[in-house]
Amino acid sequence: MSQNCARTSRADGIIDKSLLRSLFRSMLRIRVTEESIAMLLGQGEIRCPTHLYTGQEAIAVGICAALDSQDYIFGGHRSHGHYLAKGGDLRALVAELYGKATGCARGRGGSMHLVAPEVGLLGTVPLVAATIPIGVGAALASKLRGERRVSVPFFGDGATEEGHFHESLNLAANFRLPVVFVCENNLYSSHMHINERRAEDNIHKSGEAHGLPGVCLDGNDVVAVYRAGIEAIDRARRDGGPTLLECRTYRWRGHVGPAFDTDVGVKRKNEMGYWIPRDPVARARTRLVEMGLAQSEIDHIEQEIIAEVQEAIQFARESLSPSADDLEKHVFINPQTGR
Amino acid sequence: MRTLTYAQAIREAFAQLLKTDPRVFVIGQGVRSPWYAGTSLKDLDKDFGRDRIIDSPVSENATTGAAVGAALAGMRPIVFHSRMDFMLLAVDPIVNQAANWSHIFAGQVGVPIVIRAVINRGGEQGAQHSQALQAMFAHIPGVKVIMPATPYDAKGLLIAAVKDGNPVMYIDDRWLYEERGEVPEAMYEVPIGVAAIRRRGADVSIVATSFMVVEALKAASILTHRQIDAEVIDLRSISPWDHETVFNSVRKTGCLIVVDAAWKTCGVAAEISAGVAEGAFAALKAPVARVCLPDVPAPSSASLERAYYIGAEDIAASAEQVFLQKREKEFLVTSLLNEGNAEGKGRSIESSPRKSMTGAAGL
């Protein structure tokens, strides 16, 4: 855990075993999916630019568990975890990576453009920070309609260096919009460490500067993320305005693809030594065992997930590619059909 | 019928849209201020409340991005950019986001957003308060670009833009705000993608955008004194643009002048010219002419502005030259056809009656 967090939200209290089991299962499902995709990328079977979420699972899972199904989320280039945690269909995710017509974006998006409107994921796009103001807009829609839907844009530490971020925080605070900004500070923007990019490692302080609470927390502790999420989401839902959550975490794999980017330097190797023992999935597993969950049940969960992921890969392999006849479709929505 | 000014017509469209569709709201810098919007948004905040008429911080990127997000979540936002120049800070939400999402996500989500951009030329405002950037955005698939030139269209195209359900950039030139014309009180739509023939003529086709339609009609009037009968087409929609109306006119007149008060290189006039070259080349009897701004940023000093901006005289001069070239070719063709007759052989182009009459050579 970084010493840079001025205010730390910790969660050492009691948590319901069935909730933790569910959070663990959701994280493990993302982990197994990502590591299976890493293998397929290595084999050249999946070819689109793919940014893996391994190591950051607690953030998507903790926040999405605190959201209602009708709440909105948005993501960026590293969003498989957000898609799955919010309830997006696993088979449609893998098929999208394969560029198949059965993919969640019908093979038009690839890994960086995911969508699952049926569960409130209106889109993930790779223009860094682009979905921060878009997330604010979904919150504005909710507020104008008098709904209690909350909107969550997920973004990385690199995105906080864009103007989008600062304009959006000000706009959301000024109009007291129901949005929770979730920054996943994995210490790297592409190949560059945060200390090379900022005079100070203090993202959460942007909250205070813009008139909203900024909280720094252990993003590798799913219970801490869940609790911070509940608090911020509840405040947003009660018209209490936005919150910025800076979740400290670490990207295990490289920026893009299956490699570990150790060529970035010795420092990263040292960092891996620090962060791998802080694996969010392993921490939740240990806690569950302490709470009395049988190892056999954990094994069973793992086997179920592996089977589901294998089935999704098989589905993607067997799916048809999109037809060239469809290339020019959907440039515009048909006003008559709404599609 | 009742008449309204162009600015009043815009204001009426806003009011009717806000009244009839709870999904519609307005966001942008200066929506409450006549400095930015003239009378085109006057008192909308008083009539519809400041929740729906949102005067924003100077954050073009975030306000436009927020409008995209609200549109994705089912609203019908109209974003206001009081100068097109300022809108350049919102290119990411417009070009990367609004224009892309429907296609990327195979029509599962859409961005029903109207982006209203104002051109505010002249008045010694210089290079960063005056740009006309329609061509930049017309280049982008997934965003429609419209430029109404009359009060009737100012209202009808705005209503059509909101009802379209896709990203539509609505560009209005402040030089049009005091133009007066007939405007029905009821709500109505002017279809996007359909040009209007503002004046029928047989000799030359003048295709114009936005305020240049007003100037083209003045030019047509000047040209009548030179015995040239000009057809004036108001393009209305830049993307998509109405190929058939333009082609049919060129097939009738045999020549084309395109007028767009923006830069020439890679501009709207270039697109129309290329479209005609592809689709109606055989009908052309003279080279296509473009009347555009020089490829120079807008100056401030009034004396330089006079040299920079284009108007009716420039259009008339260009149209006349094109017409003479067409006549020359027609005489040439006639004389070639008559070559069999010894008497007709070698008939000089200088014998064109039009040329001697107008005295404008330029050949």
**C-beta atoms of A164 and B62 within 8 A:** yes
**C-beta atoms of A171 and B112 within 8 A:** no
Calculate helix-pair angle for A280-290, A222-237, nearest 10 degrees: 100
Please report which confidence band the pLDDT of residue B359 belongs to, taking 50, 70 and 90 as the band edges.
very low
Q: How many CB atoms lie within 10 A of CB A68?
A: 11
Q: Report how far residue B159's alpha carbon sits from residue B192's, in angstroms, rounded to the nearest whole number.
A: 10
B19: Cα within 13 Å, side-chain hemisphere: 11
Question: Residue A1: pLDDT above 50?
Answer: no
Dihedral sign for Cα atoms in the order B60, B62, B64, B67: negative
What are the start-end ranges of the H helices in A106-147?
131-144
Q: A185-218: per-residue pLDDT in tens?
A: 999 999 899 999 999 999 999 999 999 999 999 9
Q: Is residue A102 part of a domain?
A: no
Please report which confidence band the pLDDT of residue A13 belongs to, taking 50, 70 and 90 as the band edges.
very low
**C-beta atoms of B106 and A137 within 8 A:** no
CA distances from A246 to A4, A172, A176, B37, B134 (A): 11, 17, 19, 40, 40
Question: Residue B53: pLDDT above 50?
Answer: yes
What pLDDT score does B343 carry?
A: 53
Q: Is residue A148 part of a domain?
A: yes
- Helix/strand/coil for B25: strand
Determine what percent of chain B falls in helix, strand and coil, rounding each to the nearest 5: 45, 20, 35
What pLDDT score does A14 carry?
A: 60
Measured between beta carbons, the chain B residues lying within 8 angstroms of A140 are 66, 69-70, 75
Which strand (E) or helix (H) includes residue A73? strand A72-75
What ipTM was reported for this prediction? 0.94
Taking a contact as any Cβ pair under 8 Å apart, which residues of chain B between 24 and 43 contact chain A? 25
Q: Report how far residue B131's alpha carbon sits from residue B83's, in angstroms, rounded to the nearest whole number.
A: 8
Q: What are the residues whose beta carbons fall under 8 Å from the beta carbon of B80, sequence distance 6 or more?
A: B26, B27, B28, B29, B30, B31, B36, B37, B41, B116, B118
Mean pLDDT of B314-339: 93
- Helix/strand/coil for A165: helix
**C-beta atoms of A130 and B97 within 8 A:** yes
Place of tokens 């890493």: A38
Measured between beta carbons, the chain B residues lying within 8 angstroms of A96 are none
Question: Residue A268: pLDDT above 80?
Answer: no
Please report which confidence band the pLDDT of residue B362 belongs to, taking 50, 70 and 90 as the band edges.
very low
Q: Which residues of A308-322 are buried (b: 16+ CB within 10 A; e: fewer)?
A: ebeebbebbeebeeb
Q: What's the count of helices (H) and strands (E) in chain A, helices before strands?
A: 12, 10
Which strand (E) or helix (H) includes residue B259? strand B256-263
Measured between beta carbons, the chain B residues lying within 8 angstroms of A142 are 73
Taking a contact as any Cβ pair under 8 Å apart, which residues of chain B between 160 and 199 contact chain A? 163-166
Q: Determine which of B47-51, B129-133, B219-223, B355-359 has the lowest per-residue pLDDT on average.
A: B355-359
Q: Is residue A249 part of a domain?
A: yes
Which of A132, A139, A339 is nearest residue B107 as measured by Cβ atoms? A339
User: How much is the mean pLDDT over chain A?
Assistant: 93
Q: Is residue A269 part of a domain?
A: yes
- The alpha-carbon gap from B163 to the nearest alpha carbon of chain A, in Å, equals 8
Q: Report how far residue A58's alpha carbon sits from residue B36's, in angstroms, rounded to the nearest whole number.
A: 47
Taking CA–CA distances from B94, the nearest residue in chain A reads: A130
Q: Is residue A252 part of a domain?
A: yes
What pLDDT score does A3 carry?
A: 41
Measured between beta carbons, the chain B residues lying within 8 angstroms of A151 are 69, 73
Taking a contact as any Cβ pair under 8 Å apart, which residues of chain B between 107 and 136 contact chain A? 107-110, 112
Q: B213-270: per-residue pLDDT in tens?
A: 999 999 999 999 999 999 999 999 999 999 999 999 999 999 999 999 999 999 999 9
Question: Active-site positions of B?
Answer: 60, 129
Q: Determine which of A170-184, A287-301, B266-280, B346-360 has the lowest per-residue pLDDT on average.
A: B346-360
What are the start-end ranges of the H helices in chain B?
6-20, 34-37, 44-48, 60-72, 84-87, 91, 101-104, 134-138, 151-164, 211-224, 243-253, 268-279, 302-308, 312-337, 353-358
B101 and A CB contact within 8 Å: yes
What pLDDT score does A168 carry?
A: 98
Residue type, A97: L
Q: Is residue A282 part of a domain?
A: yes
Q: Determine which of A11-15, A243-247, A274-278, B32-36 has the lowest per-residue pLDDT on average.
A: A11-15
Which of A72, A113, A138 is nearest residue B104 as measured by Cβ atoms? A113
Residue type, B17: L
How far does CA B344 lie from the centroid of its chain? 46
Is the domain spanning B3-182 CATH 3.40.50.2300? The answer is no
Domain count, chain A: 1
Torsion angle of C-alpha atoms A207, A208, A211, A216, degrees rounded to 10:
40
Closest CA to A180 of A240, A120, A124: A240
B41: Cα within 13 Å, side-chain hemisphere: 30
Mean pLDDT of A3-8: 44
Mean pLDDT of B178-184: 98
- Which of A48, A70, A134 to mutate to test binding with chain B, by most B CBs within 10 Å of its CB? A134
CB A249 within 8 A of CB A222: no
- Which of B105, B115, B145 to mutate to test binding with chain A, by most A CBs within 10 Å of its CB? B105
What pLDDT score does B342 carry?
A: 52
Measured between beta carbons, the chain B residues lying within 8 angstroms of A105 are 104-106, 108
Can you name the CATH fold of B196-319?
A: Rossmann fold (3.40.50)
**C-beta atoms of B109 and A74 within 8 A:** no
Q: Is residue A71 part of a domain?
A: yes
Taking CA–CA distances from A109, the nearest residue in chain B reads: B104
Q: A117-159: per-residue pLDDT in tens?
A: 999 999 999 999 999 999 999 999 999 999 999 999 999 999 9
Which of A105, A108, A171 is nearest residue B66 as measured by Cβ atoms? A171
- Helix/strand/coil for A71: coil
Encoded tokens for A12:
């050492």
Q: Report how far residue B6's alpha carbon sits from residue B138's, in angstroms, rounded to the nearest whole number.
A: 23
Task: Tell me whether the omega of the peptide bond preceding residue B240 falls within 30 degrees of 0, making it cis.
Answer: yes
- The alpha-carbon gap from A247 to the nearest alpha carbon of chain B, in Å, equals 23
- DSSP-derived secondary structure for A49-67: -----TT-HHHHHHHHHHS
Please report which confidence band the pLDDT of residue B340 belongs to, taking 50, 70 and 90 as the band edges.
low
CB B97 within 8 A of CB A164: no
What pLDDT score does A118 carry?
A: 97
- DSSP-derived secondary structure for A263-324: GG-HHHHHHHHHHGGG-HHHHHHHHHHHTT--HHHHHHHHHHHHHHHHHHHHHHHHSPPPPG
What pLDDT score does A265 carry?
A: 66
Dihedral sign for Cα atoms in the order B57, B63, B67, B70: negative
**C-beta atoms of A137 and B69 within 8 A:** yes
Question: Residue A7: pLDDT above 70?
Answer: no
Measured between beta carbons, the chain A residues lying within 8 angstroms of B108 are 105, 115, 117, 339
Which of A109, A133, A330 is nearest residue B69 as measured by Cβ atoms? A133
- Which of A100, A150, A171 to mutate to test binding with chain B, by most B CBs within 10 Å of its CB? A171
| CATH code of the domain in which A126 resides | 3.40.50.970
**C-beta atoms of A122 and B96 within 8 A:** no
Place of tokens 């996943």: A184
List chain B domain ranges.
3-182, 196-319, 325-358
Taking CA–CA distances from A164, the nearest residue in chain B reads: B62
Which range marks the domain in which residue A64 is found? 8-14+54-86+115-257+265-293
Q: How many CB atoms lie within 10 A of CB B128?
A: 12
What pLDDT score does B352 carry?
A: 44
Q: Which percentage of chain A shows pLDDT scores above 90?
A: 88
Calculate helix-pair angle for B312-337, B211-224, nearest 10 degrees: 50
Q: Report how far residue A88's alpha carbon sits from residue A65's, in angstroms, rounded to the nearest whole number.
A: 13
Please report which confidence band the pLDDT of residue A271 belongs to, taking 50, 70 and 90 as the band edges.
confident
Mean pLDDT of B198-208: 98
**C-beta atoms of B105 and A137 within 8 A:** no
Q: What are the residues whose beta carbons fall under 8 Å from the beta carbon of B233, sequence distance 6 or more?
A: B195, B196, B197, B198, B205, B206, B207, B208, B245, B246, B249
CB A261 within 8 A of CB A38: no
What pLDDT score does A82 carry?
A: 98
Encoded tokens for B125:
């405002």
Q: B301-321: per-residue pLDDT in tens?
A: 999 999 999 999 999 999 999
- Report the side by side order of strands in the sheet with B204-208: B196-199, B230-234, B204-208, B256-263, B289-293
B3-182 and B196-319: identical CATH topology = yes
Which of A108, A133, A339 is nearest residue B104 as measured by Cβ atoms? A108
Measured between beta carbons, the chain B residues lying within 8 angstroms of A137 are 65-73, 77
**C-beta atoms of B142 and A332 within 8 A:** yes
B192: Cα within 13 Å, side-chain hemisphere: 24
CA distances from B42 to B38, B183, B361 (A): 7, 18, 50
Which strand (E) or helix (H) includes residue A124? strand A121-124
- Which of B59, B164, B168 to mutate to test binding with chain A, by most A CBs within 10 Å of its CB? B59
Q: Is residue A302 part of a domain?
A: no
Mean pLDDT of B31-59: 94
Closest CA to A47 of A239, A212, A258, A252: A258
Closest CA to A153 of A127, A126, A186, A129: A129
User: How much is the mean pLDDT over chain B?
Assistant: 93
